[in-house]
Structure 1
Amino acid sequence: MEEKIAVIGGGPSGMVAAGFASSRHKNVKLFEKNNKLGKKLFITGKGRCNITNNTDIENFLDNVTTNKDFLYSALYSFTNTDILSLLSNYNLKTKVERGGRVFPVSNKSSDVIKAFEKFLTEKDVNIILNKEVNKIIYKNGFFVLEFKDGSNESFDKIIIATGGKSYPVTGSTGDGYRFARYLGHSIIDLKPALVPCEVQENWVKDIQGLTLKNISISAFIDNKKVYENFGEMLFTHFGITGPIVLTMSNIINKYIEQKRKINFFIDLKPALSLEKLDNRILRDFEKYNNKQVKNGLKDLLPQNLIPIVLKLSGIAEEKSINQITKEERNRLTKTIKNIELNFLKFRPLDEAIVTSGGVSTLEIDPSTMESKLIPGLFFAGEVIDVEALTGGYNLQIAYSTGYLAGINC
């Protein structure tokens, strides 16, 4: 008699798992509580879907920040090349952008989801939408799924691919952790990863919405540098976000529970040394010699950032450029190269891109994604305690773990 497999969750890991499980002539049902598949996938990459990263797997693993060793088998078994080949089979064309990030040529995440849907259709996966699992009971070697609508169904094996607890509006409400805990698994404490940071400085509210490009930011834990990166960031009413800030949050979240001093330093002109920046400021001051200093920096800095930089430098905005002393200019130069922000806290978990924590990897076979506690129980994707930096790495982890679960269930 043909085995019945249930896959819970229609995100990237669940779709890959269901497709490959069904390709082994299994009777596979994919349960998704939303009214469509890939709801969280739809919003990734600002709606463009950063499918994966085209770096080699060895470098890929260097971007995994939690339980890297656990993922060796998964990432080498189903690589970034494999997922792009699979999607290409269903007419998705892709392109590579900065940092090896891979996107659909159309810049539409919906096209990625359509390719996955074609894959599932071809593999005869029974997709059941608007069906929410409430409870999983393991009894006499079978799994009974109890649904919110009061119905239930029995399966030989199940794959939990419910995602994390970030972006709950997409359906990622932490159901998988509840299921796993009820079935006897340990859950590593959940924390936000790849999340905006709140800071103590109130002046950030004055420039909320300002995006800075080609700047660098450093993070210090108890005055020791733990991170530095170059790229783009954004000021908000509560602090900072943007690509390099999200990556930074993944690094510093390991220190949060220790209540250590965390502060950031922004270099607005990383391409210029202090000496070269001073020369640049001198040229601008000569150009605007008879104007107020706030008008003499408009070629160098964003307009709404100028008052803040001057205040941090201890220079009055209305002061005439021809009255600026060398000492004041030195303070200005150092401020531009070293704006300090003091970390307050992360934004809530439901604003994080990825959930840190999850089902303990010690209780999952890394070569199959099967539970070491209950035969026939598999896990895939973000529900597992694994995470990586931004750039398509977390989605690839979802595909790779989903693949292993699918071919081994």
Structure 2
Amino acid sequence: MYSPGVIVIGGGASGLMAAGRAAEMGARVLLLEKMPRLGLKLGLTGKGRGNLTNQGDIQTFIQSYAPDGKFLRNCFARFFNQDLMDFFETRGVPLTVERGGRVFPVSDRALDLVSALLRYGQQGRVRIAKEHPVEKIEIGNGAVTGVWSRGRFFEAQAVVLATGGASYPQTGSTGDGYRLARSLGHTIMPVRPYLIPLVTGEDGVTGLQGLSLKNVRATLYLKGVKDQSEFGEMIFTHFGLSGPIILTLSGRVVDCLPKGKVEVSLNMKPALTAEQIDLRLQREFQENPLKGAASVLKNLLPSRMVPVFLSRADVSADKKSNQITSGERNRIRNLLSDFRFTIQGHRPLDEAIITA
């Protein structure tokens, strides 16, 4: 009977990497995966394109995990984004860097990343048993002796727990690792979602669902005080806000929600000062004196956003430009740099990209 030295529980990205590396170092490795396929969540990243990593520096990564990111420094010092990129490129997956430092396979196929990890394990003769959920990790004399799966005991001298979190349960991440770790005496901190869409309280968002915005700045406010800001892309949904910059803010939002009122402000023209925005509005209105406000604002905003925007500004959509008062223009100007939404909550845990 095959007797591995190392058993890896979980066939996602971390499990495949751990299994391949252990085999590369000379261990006999058995990987147990409860799902019928490996690397399911990795295959979904970047909407199937494979958003592998980001080119940001170590400090940027740590700040993104605030306030708990400091523990990652030692890990990143040993293996960081360039090491990860080199790993895949030397295994036949050329990569490209896109806006915001995001790294993708040139092929735009996340499954190419999965295939590279599978080849890595095959080179080390890692044995894989799919549809093998682990019920228990066995301990004897203070050391791991093996695991139980499907009523069978698998002996091992070491076990790597790589089961993922509790998000996207359809990919197999159902919190098994927390249960197994707890059974070994570990204390499990409350699980919270991270990288998760946000739910807003404004009815007007519903009319914007599906609308994507680029080159905007989203700023988080807690009880009216500026907290964190991100620049890039976002999207309106039927329940609120999502997209890259919203997901980046979401972990902090989850932390802030129990502390008081949470708002997200969108700056539609982050490259312009308030004075520059005002001058632009004056020019647009002066050049189009007989056009309605809605028609003129389509030069500054996506057309689908204009009705919601003018409703917030309390300006009639068909009011002629030459009739707009300075007070109304000021309200429009302020909204262009501070289009604010109250955050009522976030989507369910199983919709989070990761858990923290």
Q: TM-score, normalised by structure 2?
A: 0.93
Q: Secondary structure at the match of 2:66?
A: strand
Partner Cα separation in structure 1 for residue 71 and residue 325 of structure 2: 59
Deviation string, structure 1 residues 353-388 (Cα, Å, up to 9, x no partner): 1101xxxxxxxxxxxxxxxxxxxxxxxxxxxxxxxx
Retained in 2: the 8 A contact 1:217–1:267? yes
Deviates more, 1:115-124 or 1:246-255: 246-255
Retained in 2: the 8 A contact 1:136–1:146? yes
- CA gap of 1:66–1:170, structure 2 versus 1, over 3 A, is farther
Q: Secondary structure at the match of 2:258?
A: helix
* Aligned residue among 124, 146, 169 for 2:148: 146
Retained in 2: the 8 A contact 1:216–1:266? yes
Structure 1 vs Structure 2 CA RMSD: 1.9
Q: Secondary structure at the match of 2:231?
A: strand
2:186 maps to: 185
Q: Secondary structure at the match of 2:217?
A: strand
Whether 1:43 and 2:56 are equivalent positions in the alignment is no
Retained in 2: the 8 A contact 1:2–1:26? no
Which runs of 5 or more residues in structure 2 are unaligned? Answer: none
Deviation string, structure 1 residues 297-326 (Cα, Å, up to 9, x no partner): 221111111111111111112222232222
Tell me which stretches of 4 or more aligned residues in structure 1 moved more than 4 Å: none
Deviates more, 1:203-212 or 1:50-59: 50-59
Deviation string, structure 1 residues 202-231 (Cα, Å, up to 9, x no partner): 110011111111111111112211111221
1:78 Cα deviation after fit? 2.2
1:14 maps to: 15
1:85 Cα deviation after fit? 2.5
Q: How many residue pairs were aligned? A: 354
Deviates more, 1:102-111 or 1:279-288: 279-288
Deviates more, 1:269-278 or 1:124-133: 269-278
Whether 1:304 and 2:312 are equivalent positions in the alignment is no
Deviation string, structure 1 residues 244-272 (Cα, Å, up to 9, x no partner): 111111223222333x1211211111222
- CA gap of 1:77–1:88, structure 2 versus 1, over 3 A, is same
Partner Cα separation in structure 2 for residue 3 and residue 90 of structure 1: 26
1:282 Cα deviation after fit? 2.5
1:341 maps to: 341
Retained in 2: the 8 A contact 1:231–1:243? yes
1:152 Cα deviation after fit? 2.9
Partner Cα separation in structure 2 for residue 339 and residue 3 of structure 1: 58
Aligned counterparts, 1:5-404, within 5 A: 5-65=6-66, 67-140=68-141, 141-147=143-149, 149-258=150-259, 260-356=260-356
- CA gap of 1:237–1:137, structure 2 versus 1, over 3 A, is same
Retained in 1: the 8 A contact 2:165–2:355? yes
Retained in 2: the 8 A contact 1:288–1:295? no
- CA gap of 1:215–1:278, structure 2 versus 1, over 3 A, is same
Q: TM-score, normalised by structure 1?
A: 0.82
The one of the two structures with greater contact order (alpha-carbon pairs below 8 A, sep at least 6) is 1
Paired amino acid for 1:197: L
Partner Cα separation in structure 2 for residue 208 and residue 58 of structure 1: 34
Partner Cα separation in structure 2 for residue 298 and residue 281 of structure 1: 12
1:2 Cα deviation after fit? 7.4
- CA gap of 1:137–1:254, structure 2 versus 1, over 3 A, is same
Q: Secondary structure at the match of 1:188?
A: coil
Partner Cα separation in structure 2 for residue 69 and residue 274 of structure 1: 37
